[in-house]
Amino acid sequence: MNKFQLKWLGVLASIGLAVFLLYPSINWYSMDAKERGRLEAYRLRPKWLLNLGLDLKGGTHLLMELDVSQLPPQADVNDAMSRAIEIIRNRVDQFGVAEPLIVKQGARWIVVQLPGITNSQQAKELIGKTALLEFRMVESSEKAQQALNKLSELGAAFEGEKISPAAAKLVPAGTELFRGKDNSIYLLSKNAPLTGAQLDTARVETGGGDYGMPVVAFKFKPEAASVFSNLTAANVGKNLAIVLDGVVYSAPVIKGRIPGSSGIIEGNFTIEEAKSLAIVLRAGALPAPVNIIEERTIGPTVGEDSIKSGLYSTLIAGALIFAFMVVYYSFAGFVADLALILNLVLLLACMAYFGFTLSLPGIVGIVLTLAISVDDNVLIFERIREELALGKPVRIALETGYDKAWTAIWDSMVATGISSIFLFQFGSGPIKGFAVTLLLGMAIGRFTAINFTRLVFQTYLSNRDVDTLSIG
């Protein structure tokens, strides 16, 4: 096998590998939306898939602000932001969102983009929930009971989220007043022996409660199991309140010491509410509430229109480039067109392999990459033309043309590469997608525009006595 055969073997292997990597994406997007949704729910997405961004797939865009006024006075805001981002990312990951974007913007803002999630209300409840879980004993003393009677006679004990001044005067020392999920009121001890921070796992179970409603089953970490066991042993016959974000969800009677480290939270949940609560509890509590200051929902129809517009623009631009190259450079232009097709296939295959997300700016990056690739071939062909015009033999003109064009191509590659790296480093979301597409496309474009076209010409000339080259 000679060197040309080895090179062609490499090219054919690259094409075969690219088709292998692209097939899952072609198959995936050929399915209808319902089937894709069903497979996504079971986490059966293909391993190598060309993901679509928010602007192509549709979804929810949220701009959130961490309420730093709720942080302790000595708290580190930057650390709180990092924790909030990590917790939101954990919640989103467990929610099963593919290719979410969660980034810090400015000092207190967090950008969250959820491709494919059009139920923005569900997304907001999941992400924004503070989820402070506490276990407190219900005060059952005679003094507490008298206070509850007076509070009941008072009427509304809460003004919005806060206790009314009149109700606050009736709360005994060492206790706190809480609202129940059913609008009842509870006097609980100020001390919370166990919190959600000591939780190990939380999951949804069905068949719980008196009516078989979904419940959230939880299990404490090993170091907290003994605390839970001692707490239940010391308070048999009393009520233990399960408080989530300041609301009492249930207050079951402790019938005996619970030696294990697990329990359940009942609250007349729907199955979706129970799932969301379990996710929030597993991911932990946010360091402070987050406020949603901007919300945009992009429907799937808009995404499909964007895809069509992007494809049409790419096809039209590609067709015009193909026609121009063939008309202006004849056979050499046709070779350049083949290199463009190979460039596009390899670029999409690489994006699928690395799991990059394709967005509208990414499509712009692809079109720009193809244009740069064509520009490389134009530089090469013009240098070859000049050498042929000087009367040099075809083989020498071909090699000299490639060598002379390389300097200009290298300058362009360095400038584009530096720009792409800075865009990726300091950009976010679609800008990063554009930078990745441009950088990857530039590297592949150099291979196809220089190495592939040169191989085609060398193969064409290897066994022929050619006096001229069809180059316009």
Q: Residue 431: count other Cβ atoms within 10 Å of its Cβ.
A: 14
Going residue by residue through the chain, which has 472 residues, state the pLDDT in tens, using 9 for 90 and above: 777 788 899 999 999 999 999 999 888 888 887 787 777 766 677 888 887 777 777 788 888 898 888 777 777 888 888 878 888 887 787 666 666 788 888 888 898 888 777 677 777 777 777 667 788 999 988 888 888 888 888 777 787 767 888 888 888 888 999 988 777 889 999 888 888 778 788 888 876 555 677 888 888 888 888 888 888 888 888 888 888 778 888 788 887 787 777 877 776 777 777 777 777 677 677 778 888 888 887 766 555 676 677 778 778 878 888 899 999 999 899 999 999 999 989 999 998 888 787 877 888 888 888 888 889 999 999 999 999 888 888 889 999 999 999 888 888 888 888 988 888 887 766 677 788 888 888 889 888 988 999 999 988 888 777 777 777 6
Nearest CA to 440 out of 349, 320, 312, 376 is that of: 349
Residue 297, CB-side half-sphere exposure with 13 Å CA sphere? 10
Nearest to 88 by CA among 76, 103, 68: 103
How many CB atoms are located within 10 Å of the residue 69 CB? 7
Strand partners, 60: 114, 297
391 φψ region: left (φ > 0), alpha (ψ -120 to 50), beta (else): left
CA angle 438, 441, 443 (to 5 degrees): 110
Query: How far is the CA of 357 from the CAs of 15, 98, 99, 123, 200, in angstroms?
Result: 22, 10, 7, 21, 33
Query: Can you list the alpha helix ranges (DSSP code H) found in 155-299?
Result: 165-170, 222-234, 271-283
User: Strands across the sheet with 185-189, in order?
Assistant: 185-189, 175-180, 247-250, 240-244, 133-137, 194-195
Return the closest-CA partner of residue 312 out of 367, 271, 261: 367
- Threshold 0.75, pTM exceeds: no
Contact 281, 197 (CB under 8 A): no
